[in-house]
Structure 1
């Protein structure tokens, strides 16, 4: 391969077989895009020779490999896309990937817990770029000879970015088999614009540290097993335009205010324990949904609302008790079985006395 080549773009063709390109030492490649083909096998180890590489896209192929952590040794790598392949296994890294701004590992077979060390190493994501008034792009030195586009997924739809700003910081680990908790250390990536961890096996709570992601525009944690409440601190994320927490095990009240007042039902559906707007289950004393009143409760309310009827019932109770008492005494004196009648008397007296006390307490 020509050592003076800066861009290798063979995307969206019908290439098949393995990637049999050998990248020589000292090459000048800044962008390699082989996405949208039918390439198989493993990621070629000779990519480690591409010391100037800024953008690597191997997405939408049939590559079958573990996570190529050694790519983290490339000092200028800012975009890594391995989406829609057959990568598998846990992600283990060392002190690498310090310049990464976009990492898309979605729609693979990665498993295990989310790699805390990987997030720790994303140094470029831990700063917010100062607004200098000028736009800076990934591979900016090639801006006049090549359009460095990028496909990102938001709301389940793919969108093309014709140029990739250095402020466009994205993590997409969706549609894998990651499990365990969401690491709170993600809250340190204050430059993050898009975070997609949907369609995994994640459990535990949403970390309140996500409130530190002041630049966050899109958050998708849908289709996991996340429980607990939505941290009210997330209402402080004023740039949050897309939120999807659907199909989890969340409970409690949905935070109010700012961006949370703009999200629709689809952001929360599939969480039976959630309440509050925009859902039909409301929060608060005055907003609670009225419950059906049983006939016995209705009768009790009518008795409480009608003192005349209640006092009549009291007088009737006294009269009935007097008649029943005299009748029982007569039967006991005129029969030979006073024992079981005496038990009956005790029970009747208890019933009558209990009813009298209820009416006396009420009025």
Structure 2
């Protein structure tokens, strides 16, 4: 073989080798697709076959079900189309969330709500700088929310409700300036309610184990909806807290352990009665059980030292609103000092006096009638024979005559 033939064969082989090295990566699955496949392999059950179209042979995952891509990479490269959204709600997926999902660089929306995902949230999630929407509600995710969630500066929507998350709410959760919707309802979060939710518009922390009092510097200038019901919050509703709530916001503080009077703030007075029910020791509008008014009346004189006629007047009672609860009225009655006679004694004295006056009046009337009858008998003739009585007109005419001119008349038989 000549030297020229050998060189030509060598250059041909080298060209094919380089061409293979260039073309093979061009037709292989890109980085985002590989990261998504880790999620497919972590799923133990896919009864609806929503992940059936996820194949390693594809160049990009942009045609996969639930995946959305945008042209963000360099043109002509495998990474020209990058994954920006993964949305597979209500797909009956059983499994866990792998850490690799948190490394998808341009992932902005993640919706895996209402599935059967368990395990904890991978820490890689909270290092994402582009995630704007996370919706994982209606799963069986457990564990705590790490403090690193405060680094998700682009996060706008976070819904982790109806899971099994526990622990305390991260304090820096309120430092997310772009966060407008936060729903963590129906979990096992405990501890205090963080303060400083200045940008949040919808906040739902209901059905948890949150305790302590309502924060004074709650924030809430942009708030449209606040739900803190079914927790263990205690103490009064401060006026400072009420002032932070916009007038048109809807709030729900029902079924806690809040006490005292509801502040007379427009934002609270605009709420329905149901927004405060379930707080036994809470009173004031818009609730029906109004707060008791402290008595300002002076102590009445001791009835035992005054006459029986005045003793029948009942002593003044402490002022209690007509709509107060029965429990409040009973408590007020028990705490009143027992001065003077008892009410039963006063009633007995009054009845006895009235009975005595009645008997005396009857006796006077009887004596008067008796004297009147005797006078008539002295001035008239004896009764006629055969027990006949004088006509009524005759008796009346005699009563009308003066005493000195009255003359006896003979009664004819």
Pick the TM interval, shorter chain: 0.5 to 0.7
| Structure 1 runs of 4+ with >4 Å offset | 1-5, 15-27, 292-297, 299-304
Whether 1:298 aligns to 2:309 is: no
- TM-score norm. by structure 2 comes to 0.54
Matches within 5 A, 1:136-151: none
Aligned to 2:151: 96
Task: State the SS of the aligned residue for 1:30.
Answer: strand
Aligned to 1:335: none
What displacement does 1:288 show? 3.2
Whether 1:230 aligns to 2:237 is: yes
16-25 or 260-269, which deviates more: 16-25
Aligned length: 253
What displacement does 1:214 show? 0.7
Cα gap change, 1:239/1:257 in structure 2, threshold over 3 Å: closer, same or farther?
closer
What displacement does 1:96 show? 2.2
Cα gap change, 1:36/1:256 in structure 2, threshold over 3 Å: closer, same or farther?
same
Contact 1:17 1:38 in 2 (8 A): no
Q: Pick the aligned partner of 1:288 from 321, 333, 341.
A: 321
Aligned to 1:112: 167
Q: Pick the aligned partner of 2:258 from 227, 230, 250.
A: 250
Gap runs ≥5 in structure 1? 126-168, 310-363
Larger radius of gyration: 2
Cα deviation, 1:273-308, whole Å, max 9, x if unaligned, reads 10001222212527734647799653577799x9xx
CA-atom RMSD, angstroms? 3.6
**Residues of 2 paired with 1:200 and 1:179: CA distance?**
7
Cα deviation, 1:320-342, whole Å, max 9, x if unaligned, reads xxxxxxxxxxxxxxxxxxxxxxx
What displacement does 1:44 show? 3.1
Whether 1:208 aligns to 2:216 is: yes
Aligned to 2:186: 175
Aligned to 2:48: 14
**Residues of 2 paired with 1:99 and 1:176: CA distance?**
24
**Residues of 2 paired with 1:249 and 1:183: CA distance?**
18
Whether 1:57 aligns to 2:111 is: yes
Contact 1:17 1:40 in 2 (8 A): no
Contact 1:48 1:70 in 2 (8 A): yes
Gap runs ≥5 in structure 2? 1-28, 37-46, 62-77, 294-318, 354-413
Task: State the SS of the aligned residue for 2:93.
Answer: strand
Matches within 5 A, 1:159-198: 169-184=180-195, 187=196, 189-198=197-206
Cα deviation, 1:113-139, whole Å, max 9, x if unaligned, reads 11224444x2424xxxxxxxxxxxxxx
- TM-score norm. by structure 1 comes to 0.61
Aligned to 1:128: none
Task: State the SS of the aligned residue for 1:87.
Answer: strand
Cα deviation, 1:60-106, whole Å, max 9, x if unaligned, reads 11001202231122221111111010100122232521111111110
Whether 1:67 aligns to 2:121 is: yes
Whether 1:47 aligns to 2:101 is: yes
**Residues of 2 paired with 1:225 and 1:21: CA distance?**
49
**Residues of 1 paired with 2:273 and 2:288: CA distance?**
9
Cα deviation, 1:244-297, whole Å, max 9, x if unaligned, reads 111111101112232212211110111101000122221252773464779965
Task: State the SS of the aligned residue for 2:259.
Answer: strand
Q: Pick the aligned partner of 1:274 from 263, 275, 282.
A: 282
